[in-house]
Amino acid sequence: MADSTLTWLLEGDPAVRWQVEHDLVRSATEQWESTRSLIGSEGWGSRLLAEQDEYGTWGGGLYGPKWISTTYTLLLLRRFGLDAGNPGALVGSHILLNDADWVEGGVSYWGKRLLAERCVNGIVLSIVSWFDTDDDRIDDIAELLIGARLADGAWNCEDHHGATHSSMHTTLSVCEGLLEWKRRRGSTAADEAIASAHEFLLANRMYRSHTTGDVISDAWTRFSFPPRWFYDILKGLDHMRDAGATPDPRAEEAIEIVRSRGKNGRWPVGPGHSNKVFFKMEGGRSGGRWNTLRARRVLDWWEAG
């Protein structure tokens, strides 16, 4: 990586900067931990925490309105790397559990439509696990998800309506949740479930139909941050890197797409997912720090083999 790009990344918000220090620079632990500690008091993290209401929620709702609800704000703060013991985040995490309807051992936020949707439960599991929420019901969510895999080894939110083929969107949300949960609980069952889901992603070469070979969605070749609940190639590869997966030749084409999106060492901000936000983090056409960070660490992981 060019020194100018690295300098530019290190000039970013603490939420980006600590991950650059940790994943790209390999700084001493004291350095990146010091930077990460700033997320709750400076920059984007501080701005999101300031939007929390007196009850402890964001946006006046648990799952909606998108993207300012409690779920999506905490999901973003998790991606920032906010301290696991942050008081505001812990309050919000408990509310996600306490104010939910519970069905099948999972959370539901749809009123009379009681459904433990797999993608939503994966997202919530990632949040409450990251923020070290002390509640035994977290294990119930994980066990529900581990037992809800379809025959192809992964998940689909539409399984309640008869879906038999897994969804890339749902699968990645569940994988992220199980990964955070098993890091705190330790679980060979979670390891096996994540591995079977990775096999599903790789069977589809991260973005192609495993039966026809056709590209499933062109949108998956363009990357945005925050990704919200949506799947794309970069999000999928970054998860596999985070999970410590061994690079697999079936992902080579996807890696080349990631590589091709970079120009002069920087990756564009991306198209985003329209809906209400508290504030916009990045703009312009000169490159986005989030996508540059994520693309560069994925390529480093791949090249290290």
End-to-end CA distance of the chain: 18
Residues 6+ apart with CB under 8 A from 128: 93, 96, 97, 135, 138, 141
| Domain 44-304, second-level architecture | Alpha/alpha barrel (1.50)
**Inter-CA distances, 231 with 206, 216, 222, Å:** 10, 11, 10
Cβ burial of 221 (10 Å; 0-12, 13-18, 19+) is middle
CA distance 221 to 270: 10
Mean predicted confidence (pLDDT) in 199-218: 96
CA distance 31 to 248: 32
Specify the length of the chain in residues.
305
pLDDT of residue 112: 85
pLDDT of residue 257: 98
pLDDT of residue 180: 98
Say what the pTM is: 0.97
CA distance 302 to 249: 10
Tell whether the torsion through CA atoms of 287, 290, 295 and 296 is positive or negative: positive
State percent of the chain over pLDDT 90.
94
pLDDT at 285 over 90: no
* pLDDT tens-digit series, residues 102-124: 999 999 999 888 999 999 999 99
CA angle 90, 117, 55 (to 5 degrees): 30
* pLDDT tens-digit series, residues 235-281: 999 999 999 999 999 999 999 999 999 999 999 999 989 999 999 99
- Residue 244's CB is within 10 A of a number of other CB atoms, namely 8
pLDDT of residue 140: 98
> Where along the chain do its domains lie?
1-38, 44-304
Longest dimension (CA), the chain: 55
DSSP notation for 226-286:
S-TT---HHHHHHHHHHTTPPP-GGGHHHHHHHHHH-BTTB--------S--S-----SSS
Per-residue confidence at 163, pLDDT binned at 50, 70, 90? very high
CB 1, CB 299: distance < 8 Å: no
Count CA within 13 A, CB hemisphere, residue 39: 24
**Inter-CA distances, 71 with 56, 77, 229, Å:** 12, 10, 11
DSSP notation for 150-199:
-TTSS--GGGGGT--S--HHHHHHHHHHHHHHHHHH--HHHHHHHHHHHH
